[in-house]
Structure 1
Amino acid sequence: MLSSAPHSSGFIHKQVLSDRKLQSETLRFTELSRVLQLLQDPLSSSLKERQIFILKKLVKRCQRGFLLRDLADIFKIVNLCAERVSDHPEYARVLCDLLQICGLPFLKEKSSDEMNYAAVVTDCVSQMGYLMRIPLPEVQHQICSSVIAFYSRDKHKPSFDGVCPTRADYRALMVERSAVAETLVMSLALMEEQLPVKLRLLQTLQILSRSSEVNCNLMLRAQAAQKICFHMSEGDPSGQLLFRSSEILWNLLENGSREEVTAQLSNGDCIASLKDTFLHLLLNGFRHYDRQLRNDLLVLLSLIAENPGAPLIESGFVKHLTLFATFPELKSHNPLVRNLKLSFNHEDFEMKKLLLNIIVVLSKDLAALQLFKEGRVMLALMLLIKPSSSAARSGRRSWTSIQQEELQLQALSTLSALAPVMLDDYMSCQSNTCLLLLLDWCLQDDSFSGRGHGFHGGGGGKKAQMRYCVRVLRSVTSAENEPLKQDLCDQGAVGQLLGVLRWFVGRPEDEDAVALEIQMDCQFVLSVLCEGDMHRKELFGSEGVEMLIQYLSLDAALVFSGLGHNKLLLSTVDCLWSCVVGCFVTEDAFVAARGVDLLLRLLQRSPRRMLTPLMAVLLELCENPQAVTHLLQWSGERDATAPQLLLHIWRTDEERMGVTREPHGEIADVQWPIVCRHQDPSSNSAAVRDVSENLRANIYCIFCKLGFEGLSGLSAEDHVTLSIIHRYLDFKVGEVVHEVSAELSDEGASPVLPDEAALKSILEVSKATAESVRSLQQSILGRRQQEELQEEQRLYREIRFTHKQREIAAEAWRNYVARTSNYSVLKAFRRLQEERSTGEHDAPSDGENTLSDQ
């Protein structure tokens, strides 16, 4: 009996708790029913004091939160109170108290309650947003506070009597599903004259959009970006309106659709609001926070400027931005900058870079370019690019050396985008001279291989300046402006760029991605300058040829290293095409330096994609007789000759293109002897297009220079391929005639009799040519078979002779062994030997007697 006492006591305790819980649930259900009945009774309007009393009692009982299963009844009570607020303001306090409790996490009794009551929770949170229509500031303020508290990620301690609060991620999900963010954005229109409530509402939107993509998209659906930006410039002594508005816009950009945000901000009213806000912060802001906010607005403007429909120019904003971008490099009497003072701190430095970035973004707009021209943007950029500034020499306050270097790089980057579309201003500022001086300064400076500063200084020291300087030269020469190219050549750009390349060739230890980019850009500029101009090719001269030879001698391991040497090699081939080919002086120098041998070596080692430019350059060089001589004398890996290499490339290309051939390379289809699998014979101009898309036409032209006869070292397979190459042009003519006939047939047009006879004659000749080539190939293969048979017989004769000699040697050895081991055999051999010697001795005597008798 004693041992069972604790068990009985625990059972009684649990039973008591269960009874209490049941009584509590019954009491709560009874109270909610009584409150609803009392509020819904139409005859109880005179019992307002009693209603408020019982509502306060309900509030007092639910101080720790509402149960999920009671939410439907609770929000019926909340809505009934909201309906009475306009006529009876006494309900406002009770309504605020109920909404305050709604800010607490709802309570669940079982783990499944969250899923079971999800729809109810979503509907209740949504109704909280709809209550913003109540024109009472205290109610609206409390709704915002409750939404913030409910959405908060703070952890809440477990509640009482076995119930616990819902999880934070569950509450966030319910807020997203309720679309309360969209409702709150739409309620902004109700807060025009209520600044405190508006600030609280903006704070709520700021928290809801901080990390939720769903809330941001819901807010954008309600035009949040446009509505918030439109009110940014309104007066607010505390500064919270501007701060929270900008934070919301940033949240929408980061978590929502950037395109939708910029589209909403590309509105005339929004641009005007941004303009007023930016000017106010720039001219009147003195705090660190004001400068940061000003720079944030510039980033927003950069994104808006990417939208072609944004009315930045119409609002006059671009003109103001141009004025600020050229300050303090250019003097101006404009009132906006007359009293503007820069402190040259980090925020002002960032503003300067952002203004230069906006210029790059706006450079695609022709109207903006006109404003840049009027604002002398090009001159300001050239002043920033100069290695040493006049401000530093005069001693007045300016950018630090690190800031000056990064601004120099930023200006060069801006110039590379702006110069090609503002060539007149570029030339009037003598920019070519300035850039070439900067290039010379980079090479002469001892800190060339040091480390740079900032985003643009990744190349290290003056290498970053050289990188962007050469990039500007590349961008302006790409514009194909002849006066600009002539000015560059008159300034000595060809020799200076060769000097840059020579500097890099002599320092392989400095080879990195930036160095490769500089070298490729230099070669591109040289190609553009020298292409089609003999005098400039002569200026390129032997020094340039020597540079090309060094680049063509690159180790094959570097080409396939992945660092970018393959692109450098292609750039070198392009430079060879533009700066050497076509000028006898440079061609002779290139051939004399064994450049043709290097091209053939590259042909032997390079992948297929690099063969086309190499083959094209080699074909052009074949116009030079000395190059042809070097081609015929060349011997590569495995003693391969140039004709053998070209024939191997031809066969490889045919295999890649799917040309049908017999097992030994003979023509398989005399109707289409060289048509590839990817070529549609029925399509228009397929035969002509095929010439420009494969290597075989170039190989045919090279063999036309080398000749088809007297080529040594070719195998029978090579001769079979060579017979096809010899008739390549005839086969192409046949393809073209086939296409013409097919087009006439498709169009239903019949040629006149002479033309029809000519077409048939050409087709017959083409087919006969293919048959004759196939017969020639078969005879070549037959001769090879005969030669192989003769060679096989000769080998058999040699084998028989070898076996006979081995047998004779074996027999001699056996005789020798017998003589040394058997004395009788030795005596017989000795006697035979003596008889032979006696016979040989008597033979001359007989001869002498015969002669005497005669």
Structure 2
Amino acid sequence: MHIVCLHIQVCKRSGLGAVFIVCVCVCVSGVYPTHVDYRGLTVERSGLAETLVMSLALMENQLSVKLRLLQTLQILSRTSEVNCSLMLRVQAAQKICFHMSECDPSGPVLFRCSEILWNLLENGSREEVTAQLSNPDCIATLKEAFLNQLLNGFRHYDRQLRNDLLVLLSLIASNPNAPLIESGFVKHLTLIVTFPELKSHNPLVRNLKLSFNHEDFEMKKLLLNVIVVLSRDLAALQLFKEGRVMLGLMLLIKPRSPEPRSRCSWTPGQQEELQLQALACLISLAPLMLDDYMTCQGNTLLLLLLDWCLQEDSFSGRGHSFHGSGGRGGKKAQMRYCIRVLRSVVSLDLEALRQDLCDQGAIGQLLGTLRWFIGRPEAEDAVSLEIQIDSQFILSVLCEGDMHRKELFGSDGVEILIQYLSLDAALIFSGLGHNKLLLSTVDCVWSCVVGCFGTEDVFVAGGGVDLLLQRLQRSPRHMLIVLIGTLLELCESPRAVTRVQCWRGERDLTAQQLLLQIWRSEEEEMGITRDRHVVIADVKRHQDEPSSTSSSRDVSSAVRDVWENLFANIYCIFWKLGFEQLSGLSAEDLITLSIIRRYLDFKVGEVLHEVSAELLTEGATPVPSDEEALKSLRQVSEDTVKTVRSLQQSILGRQQQEELQEEKLLYEEIGFTHKQREIAAEAWRTYVARTSNYSVMKEFKRLREECGTSGPDAPSEPALEGPETQHTLSDQ
């Protein structure tokens, strides 16, 4: 028997719909069955799935035929994207959903409908399915089916179907236009999500019983996920406040003790996973529900949880789920999410919340967290680095601008920061995230140390300034502005200025030379031109040099330049170090220093140029007195540039003179050496001649005798008696 024809006929009899699927099967000798892929392609081209969806309206009172039809749609939509697209084209998701609330004693209609919706989500357009299910009637149907399975379902199959319906509702909740609040689903959800942590006399949960099995555990996690999705709606947040959702989350994150488990409770692993997911929910909800967060004493509870995480002998389960990535088998995952929640609430500009944290001892506890990671081999992974960076960020926010909190940070905090600044330079460029840790450490120095004289003295005495300069010498360009800015703030202290002046880096480089090198590198990055001797090449062009590529006219580019690059900070550091008390600088350094010294004068010239250009652009003609004043100021600015250029040329001239003098001395030394070599060579030739030629030796003896009898006024003879004299002259 081989299928050779497939035909669908829809007809009406006596007002009742009926579907007839006629399969003509013929046994033909020598004919082979077609491939399953070909048959599937034929069904897709026939539009069968679309026809079956439209025929659902004819099956209102024929349950057995409807079940067969739904089963066929389930099979057709299981793997075929084409069939799913055809079904969605005729509003299949909405029509299937309407049948989920029909009276069905045996229960397969609800199961078939949910399976079809899942197939449409997996193989069709998820956005289209969500849009169709966002209809108020569909949401009411899904809510009714979910509550019925929640309250009346007792089989394993019923609980799985309940969770599937909850996932569908979660996907609908991601659509901002879905009327979930109007349907009453969110109000019911707030009661269910806090069960069994909070007791309620509401009829919905009064008689609700949980078996605390795997399906109930999955439902609890799905409910926590739904409230995060719904938190985007302000009306939903109000319902969460009325339903005490924040209190339920706080009870979930409460540190657990290793007590024996009762039958009506979660397992230790499940408790730990719920604890982590509740913390993940608080990251989104706590900033949006600050009043409830403060009422539930969230800061205190989070700090207690953080202290529990730092205890070596405390309980640790084996759950974690995906929230425990990087921290399985320990409490690092709880610490990570606890710090994340604290960071999310501290980032809000709410002084009362920050003060409450400080009153609870958050500064000391966060320092203890940082100290816990120092020296541990497991502190180098991504999760540990994230915890340390977030902890330093929280400390920076708490201590910034508050002298008392900086004093609380104290010497213990300074000691920790110095250890972080002493990180191996190889780790900074390892790509593991230590560069972010260094930036957060420098930011912590800026916020927690700078401005408090006692803390600054401890930092300077501990070698903090030296470590900042070492980082300045080895760090990439994007980190320089933070390091130089922090160094500038520290230079308000005379002790820090002394340390900067005494510092020596690699290749005996001084701090002044390092800053001059950074200035020249920044000029190259900014595109500021100099000639080959680093001298100002064009007076007019240097005066009119653009400071920034931004075209915004709300702020002067010359003024914006002050906080967008390093020039202003380097100028201020040199102003504190002094421009006169510098030694060991090359001509190139002195030329750069002459530019730095007149930095503010150049800025005035840039502002004047911008004013002139803006007046010209707008077509405004200043009054004669203003025009004369502007011209005079521009002339002063040009004279300043000329003066600096002259100074640079004089420095360059002195360098050339010094180089010529050194070259002359070198040539004189070379000439003297050649002269001595010639004398030694002549002495050697004379010695050889009078020792190898008898006539020469007799003549030499005669001359010697004449010199001996000529008296004291006779010319003396050079004492060249042998090879030893030659070697002596050569050595000279």
Q: Scaled by the length of structure 2, what TM-score is found?
A: 0.90
Secondary structure class of the residue paired with 1:399: coil
Matched, 1:424 2:294: no
Matched, 1:593 2:465: no
Match of 1:499 in 2: 368
Match of 1:768 in 2: 639
Alignment CA distance shift 1:708-1:283 (3 Å): same
The structure whose residues are more often helix, as a share, is: 1
Match of 1:222, as an amino acid?
V
Contact 1:141 1:200 in 2 (8 A): no
Query: Could you tell me which of 51, 56, 69 is aligned with 1:183?
Result: 51
1:434 Cα offset (Å): 1.5
Match of 1:367 in 2: 235
Contact 2:254 2:301 in 1 (8 A): yes
Higher relative contact order (CA 8 A, sep 6+): 2
Match of 2:658 in 1: 787
Residues of 2 paired with 1:677 and 1:173: CA distance? 66
Match of 1:438 in 2: 305
Alignment CA distance shift 1:635-1:297 (3 Å): same
Match of 1:185, as an amino acid?
V
Match of 1:527 in 2: 396
Match of 1:270 in 2: 138
Aligned pairs for 1:397-412 within 5 A: 397-412=264-279
Aligned pairs for 1:337-348 within 5 A: 337-348=205-216
Aligned pairs for 1:169-208 within 5 A: 169-208=37-76
Alignment CA distance shift 1:467-1:802 (3 Å): same
Match of 2:721 in 1: none
Secondary structure class of the residue paired with 1:411: helix
Contact 2:323 2:333 in 1 (8 A): yes
Contact 2:2 2:33 in 1 (8 A): no
Match of 1:212, as an amino acid?
S
Q: Scaled by the length of structure 1, what TM-score is found?
A: 0.78
Residues of 1 paired with 2:616 and 2:380: CA distance? 61
Match of 1:491, as an amino acid?
Q
Structure label with greater radius of gyration: 1
Alignment CA distance shift 1:65-1:375 (3 Å): closer
Secondary structure class of the residue paired with 1:421: coil
Matched, 1:605 2:474: yes
Alignment CA distance shift 1:815-1:228 (3 Å): farther
Matched, 1:378 2:246: yes
1:444 Cα offset (Å): 1.4
Residues of 1 paired with 2:126 and 2:529: CA distance? 54
Secondary structure class of the residue paired with 2:2: coil
Residues of 2 paired with 1:680 and 1:432: CA distance? 43
Gaps of 5+ in 1: 1-62, 67-100, 104-127, 151-157, 844-854
Match of 1:754 in 2: 625
Matched, 1:453 2:320: yes
CA RMSD of aligned residues (A): 3.0
Query: Could you tell me which of 135, 147, 152 is aligned with 1:279?
Result: 147
1:325 Cα offset (Å): 0.9
Match of 2:727 in 1: none
Match of 2:589 in 1: 718
Residues of 1 paired with 2:30 and 2:533: CA distance? 90
Secondary structure class of the residue paired with 2:228: helix
Match of 2:730 in 1: none
Secondary structure class of the residue paired with 1:673: helix
1:839 Cα offset (Å): 8.4
Provide the aligned length of Structure 1 versus Structure 2.
710
Match of 1:679 in 2: 549
Residues of 2 paired with 1:331 and 1:450: CA distance? 26
Match of 2:386 in 1: 517
Contact 1:199 1:241 in 2 (8 A): yes
Contact 2:134 2:172 in 1 (8 A): yes
Secondary structure class of the residue paired with 1:554: coil
Match of 1:102 in 2: 6
Secondary structure class of the residue paired with 2:540: coil
Alignment CA distance shift 1:449-1:382 (3 Å): closer
Contact 1:305 1:312 in 2 (8 A): yes
Alignment CA distance shift 1:139-1:430 (3 Å): closer
Contact 1:452 1:464 in 2 (8 A): no
Cα-to-partner distance string for 1:185-228 (whole Å, 9 max, x where unaligned): 33333332232232222223222322233332332222222222
Cα-to-partner distance string for 1:652-693 (whole Å, 9 max, x where unaligned): 122122222222222233233173596378966232333332
Match of 1:313 in 2: 181
Contact 1:634 1:642 in 2 (8 A): yes
Cα-to-partner distance string for 1:340-380 (whole Å, 9 max, x where unaligned): 11111111111111111112112222221221112112222
Percent identity between the aligned chains?
75
Residues of 1 paired with 2:424 and 2:606: CA distance? 42
Match of 1:210 in 2: 78
1:842 Cα offset (Å): 9.0
1:283 Cα offset (Å): 0.6
Alignment CA distance shift 1:672-1:193 (3 Å): farther
Query: Could you tell me which of 140, 160, 165 is aligned with 1:297?
Result: 165
1:398 Cα offset (Å): 0.8
Residues of 2 paired with 1:679 and 1:334: CA distance? 64
Matched, 1:808 2:689: no
1:542 Cα offset (Å): 0.8
Alignment CA distance shift 1:167-1:740 (3 Å): farther
Cα-to-partner distance string for 1:430-464 (whole Å, 9 max, x where unaligned): 22222111111111133699966322222131111
Match of 1:484 in 2: 353
Alignment CA distance shift 1:541-1:817 (3 Å): farther
Match of 1:351, as an amino acid?
M
Contact 2:513 2:589 in 1 (8 A): yes
Alignment CA distance shift 1:680-1:355 (3 Å): closer
Contact 1:687 1:735 in 2 (8 A): yes
Contact 1:532 1:578 in 2 (8 A): yes
Secondary structure class of the residue paired with 1:629: helix
1:317 Cα offset (Å): 0.9
Match of 2:6, as an amino acid?
C
Residues of 2 paired with 1:722 and 1:317: CA distance? 71
Residues of 2 paired with 1:229 and 1:619: CA distance? 67
Contact 1:657 1:676 in 2 (8 A): no
Match of 1:700, as an amino acid?
Y
Match of 1:112 in 2: none
Match of 1:539 in 2: 408
Contact 1:313 1:368 in 2 (8 A): yes
1:139 Cα offset (Å): 9.3
Query: Could you tell me which of 256, 267, 273 is aligned with 2:124?
Result: 256
Match of 1:671, as an amino acid?
K
Alignment CA distance shift 1:839-1:356 (3 Å): farther
Matched, 1:64 2:2: yes
Secondary structure class of the residue paired with 1:232: helix
Match of 1:85 in 2: none
Residues of 2 paired with 1:304 and 1:446: CA distance? 44
Matched, 1:745 2:616: yes
Contact 1:588 1:626 in 2 (8 A): yes
Residues of 1 paired with 2:247 and 2:547: CA distance? 59
Residues of 1 paired with 2:518 and 2:64: CA distance? 80
Alignment CA distance shift 1:341-1:662 (3 Å): same
Alignment CA distance shift 1:268-1:799 (3 Å): same
Alignment CA distance shift 1:710-1:187 (3 Å): same
Match of 2:549, as an amino acid?
Q
Contact 2:529 2:537 in 1 (8 A): yes
